[in-house]
Chain A
Amino acid sequence: MHRDILHLNIPAFPIALARVINSFLRERPVAVAPSHTDRAIVQEGVFEGMPVFRALAFCPSLTILPPNPRLLSTGMRSLIDLSSRYTPLAEPGSPGRLYLDLTGSRRLLGPGRDAAARLDREITDCLRLRGSVGVAGNKLVSGIASRFLRKPGVCDVLRGSEKPFIAPMPVSILPGVGSTRERILLTDLNLRRVEEVTALSVSQLGLVFGPFAPLLHQRARGIDPSPVLPPRRTLDVTEESYLIQEQNSDEILLAELCRLIEGCGFRLRRLGKGTGKITLTVYYIDGVSSRESFALPSPADNDIVLYAAAEDLFMKACQRRVRVRGMRLTCTRVSARNRQMEMFSSSSQTDRRAGRSDALQDAIDRIRERYSTGSVSWGRTLDSKFQISNSRTVHRSQV
């Protein structure tokens, strides 16, 4: 049976979303720091990964937006919701990209390209987002097809013609051919187009790429048997924070970390769960990030316990002097918290102290539930001037 795989691609998704909610941005150059630039402003010399100060020098009218994971999450969820009307087999890729498997739905939805056109129209009408949809017999070619068109629309690749479709394209369109492999292919071996790679045997490619050769050989022929896999449901609790003004002061960053802990802890307790592992990712202003994890001896949800672990993590993760743009704290291995008392507790005083701490935490949570989450905070969330740090905190839970 022919497969009908759709790939929905909305270019510069964070910027597209920002323009949906803010009409002021629609006709203006916009970049989201740290990683997205619009195609239009690329022409003005602003590229993805370029330092903000330089981008502003090239394009003084550029509006720089901080990353907004909540908006991104909402936007992605909306895309998935719309797509679920067509198929339950939807696999989110990077933000703004989605694979849909419509195989066997021809009688219900019509040919793949018609379904794609409808989906495209619905996205435009309902979400006011413009993208491209690639339709092909597998994920690889549908993905390439969705990027093939310069303007929004549908690109349908006839089943069986995947190989000739990608043959004249540059080798860089093949997944797995990054800048290093591209350089080897292009510069050293004078192989520019996919068809020139197709002409080589696996053994010949093996001389260049070793174990990657069979996969590259397959991809160069437009073959991709991989299925569309809907994501597994996991229960992770994540808090992210992007500072409006980048900092390298530990005092301010630790205050921000405490706010992340408060957020995660509060949500874990509301779920009645504890986390067995916390992971802290620190994002520096130069695009570098570092990540450290810590496995807790037993699932925990108490802010003080979590903060003690996170502070050590911070000291390990934040080793560079470069200013920090943001942090992400992820609580994984979420499970029911063990409330069972130790039968042979080493110190009843420790238990009493833990009990008091839990009682305090419960009391704080009750206040927050009644008067909002910001009504009461730990002192550590304040910097030395007793001000709430100058940051923007956003919550995102992964599903």
Chain B
Amino acid sequence: MKYVPLHVHSSFSPGWGIHHPETLCAAAGALGMDRMALTDRNGLYGIPHFLHQAMEAGIRPIIGAEAVNDGYRAVLLAKDGSGYANLCRLLSDLHCRENFDLSRSLSEFREGLVVITDDGSLLTHLKRQDPGDLFVEMSPGHSMHNALALSRRLKLPPVATSRAVLLGEGDYHLHRVLRAIDLNTKLDRLSLTDTAAESDRLLSSRSLAEHFPHCPEAVENSIKVAELCRTDWDFSRTIFPGYRDMTDDEAYSDLESRARKGVLWRYGRIDERVKARLEKELDLIREKGFAHYFLVVEELAKRSPRTCGRGSAAASMVAYCLGITHVDPLKYNLFFERFLNPGRVDPPDIDIDFPWDERDEILDFAFARYGTKRAAMVANQVSFRARAALREVAKVYGLASEEIKDITRRMSGGWKPDKAAAAVATHPRFAGEKLNGDWRMILDTARRLDGQMRHLSLHCGGLVIVPDEIRRYVPVEVSAKGMPVIQWEKDQTEAAGLVKIDILGNRSLAVIRDALAAVRKNTGRIIDYAQWQPLEDERTRILIRSGETMGCFYIESPATRQLLRRMWGDDPDPITLECDLFEHLVMASSIIRPAANAFILEFVARMRGKPWRSLHPFLDDVLDETYGIAIYQEQITRMVMTLAGFSAFDGDQLRKIVTRKSRGRKLEDYRTRFIKDAAKRGISKKTTSLCWNQILSFSGYSFCKPHSASYALVSCKSAYLKANYPAEFMAAVVSNQGGFYSAFAYLSEARRMGLTVLPPDINASEYHYTGRGTHIQMGLMQIDGLSKKTVDGLLKERLDKGPYRSFTAFLARVRLDPSALKFLVKAGCFDDLEGRDRRPALIWEVLSHSHSRDQSPGKGQIGFLFDEHKPDLPRPEPYDEGTVLRQESQTLGMLVSRHPLDLHRDGLDGLRYAPASEIQKWVGRHVTMIGWWVTGKPVKTKHGEPMEFVTFEDTTAIFDTTFFPRAYARFCRKMVRHRPYVLKGKVEEEFGVATLNVKWVGFLDGNK
């Protein structure tokens, strides 16, 4: 007897299901099923994945969900498009409406849905409305006799399901652990209703039928229900946002007119080249119906004067002319087909960066314009990473948080659960440690929590706008911030044809904005952002070439700074001075990617004059601009198009597969096809093999040229400000936070640039850091424990009534909490007014002030019987140096008055070491160096051995070190931040850049 599984949970049932749709489809296929429904709990979280996987496995997919709310439960299957839309609406209501009632909602949204449940009251209610498409669910292990009696009493057909959650033997335990995590309880306290039954498995037709000898029609009805439901779902149609209710033609003609105006604005005139490109793009946009999308994005981009349109969209002249992007695609030869091509079936993707603190306003505008009916944010589907999986499972097993942390703190944030067990066995951070039985069991369970969705969170900026009603296409929930969020993350959103607009927050745009404002305030100079040509400035060019780009957007990482120094250095080779700086900056920021290490040095050598030729003459056009090395994503596409005759679409598909981590068999298929087709064109095997190696160097993440060029433009503007207005720029960098380095590292860089960092001062500091001339004034934002509201209050008072003349005057003018006052005193804000020696006396004043305030009439405080009315305050001794430094560190989060290494001068006695500023003198020799940890980047060698690049600084300069696998294995457990390192190793040099190859690590603080 045949049967169709109509009630199946995947890992997209948060806290319930354990298997990915791919595994379930494969299992169903292996059991001989030709159809299967996916009915995750309260959502369609994995439907696009399911449709894809079902197609791959030869299963006809049925879309459904199990709605569970307030004790009611029903499996809902979509019969057709209207059923799917109603299912989305019902699930949206379930998540968004406070007084959601399943029976009432089902009455409202029942059209196109099959309802299967064993809930008597729900069935009675729905039958009264319409007995059609209503079934009684009978499942082994779930009171089948009651369900059968209900079916007979209500005269509704029974249908067999197995409520499948489990597949293999260990699944039930895993499911219980998942439930315990979800319910924040321990295994013993899970009740029967908290978990699935042990019998809730994906059963074969025969196994299921064995449970229904008394009611075979229930099994037969599963076929009937499946036949009611649509299985030929097609989500490939792109759904564009509708711009201001215009028709497609109206939108296109509006776009065309705006683009033509934009051409005149950008180029001054329309020449043949510009005209041809514009026509080509507009034709494609019209053909694909993308006009609405461009207009909507343009409207959003216009909300801020400083944006950075990036991604492949920067290759579009239309986007450039509309002001969405800012890099001239003609001048920089940007490959338009990377953005749009006739074969592309997925929606285009335009990402726009806004200053991070303006992003919410842009989203507010978008929601005000389109309403929550048409717009919603894209989700992130949060699943377990290794640390979270281990932590949560260990909690279920009752381990104490300290013990859990001792293991998880040694794990990298990016590790996946299935890799954690292997990593614990092999990673040097766990070397010599034998985990006990409890931990082995925990690791084994946590390993299987890979891919289980836990909950939704907001994507950092993805916005979806549809022309009619978003809840027709996808269920919508409400995020913790109160924003509507769809149930799919970006990949499934794209797979379902919904067009995503990325509105992203960018701190560097805010840095530029703030620095420009400071320049205007301090010097009166106004820099026109739109007309600004930063690379015309010699200082900027020198700064970029020297790699002194800490704080400059996108080019500040140690790897990029090293690369820039290798390319040019302090004393550039004349041959390199002839290179186009912008083009080479774009190349430099693109070649820094995980799998391209092998090509970086070759690139530098070729740039500095090493003779080279293309892998094949066919590739001259493709790779000439990048010295015969593939640097940009679109070069992969063009390489396979040129060598093997791939279409633009196929080339783009290959690019997508290479850059994604899970690529598996498809990549192999493409490789075979590439080699075969190239051979047909007479390309040698050796050449194709070398080409393929270059293609593989794009795995992990990589960049397209339009994207890098857009970012390089922002980099140049940052560099200009750093070179010409260092105080204003560095103050803006620290104020906006969130850069590659800590505030401490940026302030050290500022000092190296000759700037003086002034401690916080009650009369000189603003909320943010401020820079002027050669000084950076620390902002009150740096003081831990002070709220913005508190600071705003005291700044307003200062602005209104002038500077504070004394601490007593401050107390009289500003009403602050005693703890906030203590923070201000300990941070040294009154040192200028009162002197540092009086800090403890000021604390007494704070106490006296708050006491007299508490004793004031109406406070109802009772003093001592013989209390003095207001005691004389003692005159305490000044704090000693150590206390002052401790207070500085506690209130500001770092030492400002001196470098932390200065505190360890005693440890330097008798130690001969090389200052970092002189590292170049020691090339090829073994040295000892002193360092304070700045940043680190753990990586793996091509053999999979862990190693790390760490940047340190001493009081003279910043320097880079390499911990190769042997040194890393020996010292990785000691490598923590905020310690004074003693490093011994050999100074090595490549292209004029010296780094320390570390062999031994010690510490100045004497601890091992």
Instruction: List A residues at the B interface (Cβ < 8 Å).
Output: 51, 53-54, 187-191, 196, 199-204, 206-208, 213-214, 246-251, 284-286, 321-324
Which of A190, A199, A285 makes the CB contact (< 8 A) with B883?
A: A190
With a CB–CB cut-off of 8 A, which chain B residues contact A187? Answer: 883, 886-887
In this assembly, does B877 line the interface, its C-beta being within 8 Å of a C-beta of chain A?
yes
Top 7 A-B pairs, shortest CB-CB distance: A248-B398, A203-B871, A323-B398, A286-B400, A250-B188, A207-B847, A190-B840
Decide: A249 and B406 in contact? CB cutoff 8 A.
no
Decide: A204 and B186 in contact? CB cutoff 8 A.
no
CA distance A214 to B406 in the complex (A): 45
In this assembly, does B848 line the interface, its C-beta being within 8 Å of a C-beta of chain A?
yes
Decide: B876 and A322 in contact? CB cutoff 8 A.
no
Nearest chain B residue, comparing its CB with the CB of A204: B871
With a CB–CB cut-off of 8 A, which chain B residues contact A191? Answer: 876
Chain A nearest CB, measured from B978 CB (Å): 19
CA distance A51 to B840 in the complex (A): 37
Nearest chain A residue, comparing its CB with the CB of B395: A321
CA distance A324 to B874 in the complex (A): 50
Which of A196, A286, A321: most chain B Cβ within 10 A? A321
Which of B184, B844, B878, B879 makes the CB contact (< 8 A) with A207?
A: B844
CB-CB under 8 A for A201 and B396, given A187-B886, A190-B879, A321-B185: no
Which of A190, A246, A248 makes the CB contact (< 8 A) with B876?
A: A190
Decide: B873 and A204 in contact? CB cutoff 8 A.
yes
Report 5 cross-chain contacts, Cβ distance below 8 Å, ordered by A residue: A250-B189, A321-B185, A321-B186, A321-B395, A321-B396
Given contacts A190-B883, A250-B189, 20 further A-B contacts (CB under 8 A): A187-B883, A187-B886, A188-B843, A200-B874, A203-B867, A204-B844, A206-B867, A207-B847, A207-B848, A214-B864, A246-B398, A248-B398, A249-B186, A249-B188, A286-B401, A321-B184, A321-B186, A321-B398, A322-B401, A324-B398
Which of A54, A200, A207: most chain B Cβ within 10 A? A207
CA distance A284 to B399 in the complex (A): 10
In this assembly, does B578 line the interface, its C-beta being within 8 Å of a C-beta of chain A?
no
CA distance A190 to B837 in the complex (A): 11
Chain B: how many interface residues by the 8 Å CB criterion? 39
Which of B187, B844, B877: most chain A Cβ within 10 A? B844
CB-CB under 8 A for A285 and B186, given A190-B877, A200-B874, A207-B851: no
Decide: A189 and B843 in contact? CB cutoff 8 A.
yes
CA distance A204 to B374 in the complex (A): 65
With a CB–CB cut-off of 8 A, which chain A residues contact B189? Answer: 250
Return the CB mask of B863-889 against A: 1 if under 8 Å, else 0. 110011001111011110001001100
With a CB–CB cut-off of 8 A, which chain A residues contact B876? Answer: 189-191, 196
Chain B nearest CB, measured from A172 CB (Å): 16
Nearest chain B residue, comparing its CB with the CB of A203: B871
CA distance A51 to B401 in the complex (A): 10
With a CB–CB cut-off of 8 A, which chain A residues contact B400? Answer: 51, 284-286, 322-323
CA distance A249 to B187 in the complex (A): 8
Nearest chain B residue, comparing its CB with the CB of A199: B874
CA distance A334 to B844 in the complex (A): 53
With a CB–CB cut-off of 8 A, which chain A residues contact B886? Answer: 187
- Chain A interface, DSSP helix/strand/loop, else mixed: mixed
Which of A54, A203, A251 makes the CB contact (< 8 A) with B406?
A: A54
CA distance A201 to B872 in the complex (A): 9
With a CB–CB cut-off of 8 A, which chain B residues contact A202? Answer: 864, 867
With a CB–CB cut-off of 8 A, which chain B residues contact A53? Answer: 403, 406
With a CB–CB cut-off of 8 A, which chain A residues contact B851? Answer: 206-207
Nearest chain B residue, comparing its CB with the CB of A287: B400
CA distance A323 to B184 in the complex (A): 14
Nearest chain A residue, comparing its CB with the CB of B879: A190
CA distance A388 to B756 in the complex (A): 72
With a CB–CB cut-off of 8 A, which chain A residues contact B98? Answer: none
CA distance A247 to B864 in the complex (A): 52
In this assembly, does B822 line the interface, its C-beta being within 8 Å of a C-beta of chain A?
yes
Which of B406, B840, B872, B887 makes the CB contact (< 8 A) with A189?
A: B840
With a CB–CB cut-off of 8 A, which chain A residues contact B879? Answer: 190
Which of B184, B186, B851, B886: most chain A Cβ within 10 A? B186
Nearest chain B residue, comparing its CB with the CB of A210: B851
With a CB–CB cut-off of 8 A, which chain B residues contact A189? Answer: 840, 843-844, 876
CA distance A191 to B877 in the complex (A): 9
Return the CB mask of B364-407 against A: 1 if under 8 Å, else 0. 00000000000000000000000000000001111111110010
Decide: A51 and B864 in contact? CB cutoff 8 A.
no
CA distance A242 to B684 in the complex (A): 75
Chain B nearest CB, measured from A170 CB (Å): 15
CA distance A214 to B867 in the complex (A): 11
CA distance A285 to B402 in the complex (A): 10
Which of B399, B826, B847, B874 makes the CB contact (< 8 A) with A322?
A: B399
CA distance A190 to B400 in the complex (A): 37
Nearest chain B residue, comparing its CB with the CB of A324: B398
CA distance A190 to B838 in the complex (A): 11
CA distance A187 to B876 in the complex (A): 12
Chain A nearest CB, measured from B879 CB (Å): 6
CA distance A207 to B845 in the complex (A): 10
Nearest chain A residue, comparing its CB with the CB of B826: A188
With a CB–CB cut-off of 8 A, which chain A residues contact B185? Answer: 321
